[in-house]
Structure 1
Amino acid sequence: MSRRVLAALALALLAGCGRDPSVPPSQGNAAGSETVRQGDVYLHVTAVQTDKLPEQVVRRYGAQRDARTVLVVMSLRLGDGADAKALTAQRVQATATDLLGRKQTLAMREMRDGELVDYVGTAQVAPPDTLRFEVSMDTGHGIHPAKFNRDFF
């Protein structure tokens, strides 16, 4: 499979395609995606167990494929839709806290594919559990935060 096809597949899986339009973006969806708008800037965050993703996608992001590993992908875009411009962050922070209060600080790394820029990290989960994510991206011109929960089975 070509790199472009893998990238397109990953974006389709991780960009929250199929979001129920009746569910506000701040409440997420079954695909594990959140989108938070602040002015013209959109913060997209996806948190998905890696065993739910194709092996090629998991390998591309450098993660282990199993039910205990959650892939977290964050991106900032100026505008929404096909003509959105990728923004880079000066600082990216992400934490995941389970129901027992155990907090993980996620090591996020930048990944580029052409003009696209994503920030990727992993969290560990012991299903069934709920993780509370707190993330933020600082562009140097503003901080873009999001908080959301995900159930993992």
Structure 2
Amino acid sequence: MRTIEQACVALLCLALAACGGGGSEPVPAQPAPPPAELHVGDLHVHATAVNTMALPERVTRNYGIARGEQVWMLLVTTRRGEEGKDVAVPAKVEATARSLQGQRIDIVMRELRTPDGLIDNVGTFSITPPDTLQFNVQVTAENEPTRTLEFTREVAK
């Protein structure tokens, strides 16, 4: 897992741990779900959905995305090779989500290249919590057929 993915997961855990209500008993923070993963041969795809308010402002600024209570980010990374020695692979990424009420959410994804040579695909979408989203992510890496990654995430209030 790369640095930005680790930062997203760690920050989400910290944000959940910092949440509290006036006068109510503290509730232990639930760990952020691990990224959804797809491994085909030496191709590795990871996808993470996180509320943008759980990310530091510098991260959202670097990614060029807005922060907001109802704004979520989908981060998809595509790598090739042995984990820890893998390299970023350019990929076309298309993503949708479906709410419990059947609402389809088209997530416009765009490629971002980091100064250290990583390639991430990032998209944002709005959702009013609470809800449960079923994600469908289509990934077409260079010289590969399209692969599908499906996963579910709870959007807590």
Map 1:3-152 → 2, pairs under 5 A: 8=3, 10-14=4-8, 30-31=32-33, 33-89=35-91, 91-113=92-114, 114-139=116-141, 140-152=143-155
**Structure 1 unpaired stretches of 5+:** 1-6, 18-28
**Structure 2 unpaired stretches of 5+:** 11-30
Distance in 2 (CA, whole Å) between partners of 1:55 and 1:32 is: 22
Return the index of the structure with the highest Cα Rg.
Answer: 2
RMSD (Å), alpha carbons: 2.0
Distance in 1 (CA, whole Å) between partners of 2:34 and 2:108 is: 19
Task: Describe the superposition over 1:53-83 as per-residue Cα deviations: whole angstroms up to 9, x where unpaired.
Answer: 1111122112221221111111111124321
Q: TM-score, normalised by structure 1?
A: 0.78
Distance in 1 (CA, whole Å) between partners of 2:82 and 2:100 is: 33
Which amino acid in 2 is paired with 1:135? V
- 8 Å contact 2:96–2:135 — kept in the other structure? yes
Q: TM-score, normalised by structure 2?
A: 0.76
Which amino acid in 2 is paired with 1:12? Q
- Number of equivalenced pairs: 133
Which amino acid in 2 is paired with 1:103? R
Task: Describe the superposition over 1:20-71 as per-residue Cα deviations: whole angstroms up to 9, x where unpaired.
Answer: xxxxxxxxx7245211111111101110011111111122112221221111
Q: Kindly, what percent of the aligned residue pairs are identical?
A: 33
Distance in 2 (CA, whole Å) between partners of 1:70 and 1:39 is: 30
